[in-house]
Structures are given as structure tokens and as C-alpha cells.
Structure 1
Amino acid sequence: MTGVQQLAEKFALLKEGGQKALVTYITAGDPNLQTTGRLISAMDRAGADIIELGIPFSDPSADGPVIQRASTRALGSGTTPAGILKLVAEVRGSVTAPLVLMSYYNPILQYGLNAFCLDAARAGVAGLIIPDLPVEEAGPLINEADKVGLAVIPLVAPTSNRDRLAKVTAAARGFIYCVTVTGITGTRQDVTAEIDRLSAQVMEFTELPVVAGFGIATPDQAAAVARYCDGVVVGSALVRLVEEQAEDSIQSVAGLTGQLKAALQSPQAQFGKNG
């Protein structure tokens, strides 16, 4: 099954059950790849529907301080894109959640677009999120990803106008990642102010699932945002647990994952596109 098919099947099953998707993010290699493997398994068992693994980069311009520090720790432990793909290949058969990689464009470009997409697909990666790659420059990567069935998942921001939304959604695969706020990743108090309008606009242009992220940290926030879309991404809150507890964070990360999934199954989350 290709990555695009993995994601389509996952969202179809969730929709059939009237559920919203929980996408969890951690930085691969923080504090080391062995712990990342254990975290993937723990989040999968706790209810994560899709697991996003960040490829560490020295200049993570879209990320806030928590994920920036995680990238620094992961690079310090010797984490490489090749090592992350090897880990994905090792764990893929034992987890049910599709695995998506979040990377800045430079590491993929240095690896080689064709080689990276081929190796990622062979490892079992379902999709790629590249926050610093605008749709106008994404053609070469999308072409290579399409050859092997990898989903290139775009981000759209509250500042995106209708012309840009049309262009981005036309090139999208897998799902659309709506950024809930203008700015970098990190926890925030109010994450619903823009997502209602933005998700409604995106849905005018595509039938692909719409998932919202940036700033969502608590079960209550997850449920509130999920009312307006097909799922939510939670990252910095989980990465902070890894920062604080390192190899001992497995239980805490699993616990928060379970709480978030329970919140997405609550009546408060069941409104909108899949409600």
C-alpha cells in the first residue's frame, strides 16, 4: 500500500466511525533514535491516528523554542535522515498509524529528491510535510513523490488568499495542514480564532481531509479546534515532555496522547466536516 493509500484508508476509517484524527509530532532522535522508536510505539498504542516525525535541522524557521531545542539535541545525538528512515523501516510493521516526516527542504535536497522519496517509500513513510517549500517551487519534489506514492502534504496559513488556496490544494496529496495561527509552532491560549474561517475556505477547494496544527497543547484545545476540521496536530506539548524526561518520557507521552484522543471522541469535538 502506498503512502497516499495509507492516509486515505486511515481517514476513511475515521470518517466511517465519526471520529477526528489525532496527529502527534515528536522530533526524531530526541534524545536518541532508540527512544524515538519506543515513543512511536507508545503513541500508536495510546490512540495516535497518524504520527509525524520531525527530521532535525539546524535552522528550523517554522518552529518555536521547544522544537528548536529538540532539533539541537537530536543533531547532537548524531541523528541523520538516513538513520530516521532506517528507524521507520524497523518500526513500520508493528504500528497501525501511518508515519509522516516533517522536514525542511535542505536535508531532502542534500539527500537527493529521487533517492529520498524512493528510500522513504521503501521504509514505509506515508507522506512528507515541508514547511519552507512553497507550492511554486514544490514541483520537482511532488513529481518524485508521486512516482512512489508518497503524499506531499502542504501547509496553508490564515494569511492565504483564495487564489493561493486554490493553487496549494490542487497540488496537495494526503491531507491539508491548516496552520491555526500566524507564526511559529508552540502552545497558545487561543487557537480557534482563525481555524473556523480558514478550514471552511479550504474545504471549498478540496475533498481532502483538513487537519489543523500549531499551538494546540491540551485536550480541551484539541476538541475545540476539531469541531472545524477532520483532525488536529499536537507537537510542542509532547516534545516538551521528552525534553523534561528524556528516556523516561514514554509513559507521559502515552498518557497525553490518550487524553488527546479521548477529547477528540467527546461531543465537544463532533461538529463540522466529519461530525
Structure 2
Amino acid sequence: MKSLTKQLKAKQQANETIFVPYIMAGAQGLDQLADEIQLLTDAGASAIELGIPFSDPVADGPVIQAAGLRALENKVTLRKIIQQLKQIKTPTPLVLMTYFNPVFSYGLETFIQELAETNVLGLIIPDLPYEHQKLLTPLLKESDISLIPLIALTTPKERISELAAAGDGFIYAVAVNGVTGVGRNYQEIVDEHLAYIQKVSDKPVLAGFGVSTKEHVERFRKSCAGVIVGSKIVQLLSEGKQGEVKAFIQEAIKNEV
């Protein structure tokens, strides 16, 4: 079992709320990345998802797209991010969320080898279909890096089982149809969807896309292991509200008795 799976399963078994904040690497400048990771660690993040800026971010809502554009304007690249991560020491597992094109351009083997020198323990690549994952899985076999699957609301049940069995780290359950962002109304079918994935998966299931309030977190904790929160965190950081970020995470992970 890979380290990311092991660490998150331990939290799940202890009935702790798994909370994975997302930030766009370099949106405030790469020199801020270490401080942002430290802030999220201090707040109690279970793992931290780092977005890689990309010119065509098909899965990202407006807040994250804007952060990605700021990072691109700051001349932030995947290569620069990895070089920065090699210098950052943190006890919190890091998960890279990137599109496939930057990884392919980097060189698949070189990419995985260099990640081994960082605290990146997971990869999310939303535009890499399950059928094409063999481009990466042989390289990941000997590494401690998990390839995390995304499962949509529209995914058929037989395919859910297949994706859940093949994935590692945790299962990223997309809680809405569409892109990331705050202020969405969740369909009632979501709870049933999450509970089913958790039933067929031996890894923690986390709900993402649009999670932005403590009430969302409490709702999803009834049917899965925790949440991923992106746009809310990215927005607060862009406004310089680090204190609100910390308070939000600490409040969200409290387990009320």
C-alpha cells in the first residue's frame, strides 16, 4: 500500500474528517508556495492539492482559471514548481493536479523521477482517460506516487468499481456535473452516489467540485470520508485572507459529538 493511501486510510479509520485544500501553485508567486503549504499544514490539512497552471484548464471554474492565469503571467511552469518543491520540507502529503500535456512535454520518466525528490505522493490528471493510464502506470509501479481516479456523477456503476479498484491514494468523487466552483446546489443523487463509491472502494472517497462551506463538509461526511476544497481556498488566498483560510479549515474538520 502506498504512503498516501496508508495515511488517509488511518485518518478514515480514526473517523477524522479528511480535508484536502487545493491551491494554484504560483498564483501569488512561487516564492509564496512554501508559506502557503505551511499555512495549510498548520490549519490541519490531511493532504494538499497543488494545481499546475495550464492554458486550457477544461475542468476548472472561473476562480481557479483566474489563479492559473496569474501563475502563467508570473512565468510559473511545471519545471519551476518541481524545482521549488524539492526545496520544501513538509509532513503533509502533496498531490499534483495537472493536465497531461505539461507532463508529456516534461518527459514522463523524468517527471516521475524528479517527483520522487519531493513530497508529492499523488497525481490527479483529469484529461488522462482510464484507458490511456498505461502511459504512466508502469513508471509509477516502483514509486510511492498514487494515481488518483476521478469518478463523475454520470459514471456507470460497473465502471465505478473498475476505476476504484485501479486507482490509488483516494477516490476523487466529482459531486456536480460541470466545472469547479462555489455556490452550486447539490443534487440529491450525490449522497447515494458517494455512498455507493465508498461501499465498493477500499480507499477513502473524497467529494470535490463546489465544496465551499462547513455545511457542505458536514453533509458529505455522512456518505464519504471527506472533501476537497478548491475555489473557496484559492479566492481567500488571492484576497490575502490567510487567517480566514486557517479558520475555515479548522472549523470544517472539527468532529462535532
Contact 2:8/2:169 (CA < 8 Å) preserved in 1? no
Task: Measure how far apart 1:112 and its partner are.
Answer: 1.1
Is 1:266 the counterpart of 2:252? The answer is no
Residue 160 of structure 1 corresponds to 155
Offset, 1:192: 6.0
Q: Which portions of structure 1, spanning 4 or more consecutive aligned residues, are displaced by more than 6 angstroms?
A: none
| Residue 170, structure 1, aligned to residue 165, structure 2 | yes
Q: For residues 204 and 227 of structure 1, what CA distance do their matches in structure 2 show?
A: 13
Q: Which residue of structure 2 aligns with residue 184 of structure 1?
A: 179
State the partner residue of 2:242.
250
Which sits farther off after the overlay, 152-161 or 33-42?
A: 33-42
Alignment deviations for residues 185-206 of structure 1 (CA, whole Å, 9 cap, x no partner): 0013433623322122223432
Distance apart, 1:114 and its partner CA: 1.0
* Separation of aligned partners in 2, 1:161 and 1:210: 17
CA apart distance, 1:164: 1.7
Distance (whole Å) between structure 1 residues aligned to residue 143 and residue 177 of structure 2: 33
Number of equivalenced pairs: 257
Residue 104 (structure 1) aligned with residue 85 (structure 2): no
In terms of fraction of residues, the more helix-rich structure is: 1
**Letter matched to residue 180 of structure 1:** A
Q: Give the Cα separation in 1 of the matches to 2:17 and 2:189.
A: 19
Q: Residue 22 of structure 2 contacts residue 230 of structure 2 at CA under 8 Å; is this kept in 1?
A: yes
8 Å contact 1:181–1:194 — kept in the other structure?
no
TM-score, normalised relative to structure 1: 0.88
Confirm or deny that 1:68 pairs with 2:65: yes
2:194 aligned to which of 192, 196, 199: 199
Deviation at 1:221, TM superposition (A): 1.1
Contact 1:38 1:250 in 2 (8 A): no
* Residues in 2 aligned to 1:120 and 1:195: alpha-carbon distance in whole angstroms: 34
In the alignment, which residue of structure 2 is the partner of 1:21? 18
Q: Which residue does the alignment assign to 1:272?
A: none
Say if 1:114 and 1:261 are closer, same or farther in 2 by CA, change over 3 A: same
1:28-67 alignment runs, 5 A limit = 28-67=25-64
Hey, what's the Cα distance between the residues in 2 that align with 1:235 and 1:207? 25
Partner of 1:8: 5
AA in 2 matched with 1:155:
L
CA distance in 1, matches of 2:180, 2:12: 27
Q: In structure 2, the residue corresponding to 1:229 is in which secondary structure?
A: coil
1:192 and 1:46 mapped to 2: Cα distance? Answer: 30
TM-score by length of 2: 0.94
Map of 2:118 onto structure 1: 123
Corresponding residue for residue 87 of structure 1 = 84
Q: 1:147 is matched with which residue?
A: 142
Say what the alpha-carbon RMSD is for the aligned residues.
Answer: 1.6
Q: Distance in 2 between matches of 1:46 and 1:65?
A: 25
Find the aligned partners of 1:179 and 1:116 in 2 and give their Cα distance. Answer: 26
For each residue in 1:134-184, what CA deviation from the matched residue of structure 2 results, as whole angstroms up to 9, or x when unmatched?
Answer: 101111112212221210001000000022212212320111100001000
Instruction: State the AA in 1 paired with 2:256.
Output: S
Q: 1:66, CA displacement in angstroms?
A: 0.3
Answer yes or no: is 1:210 the counterpart of 2:220.
no
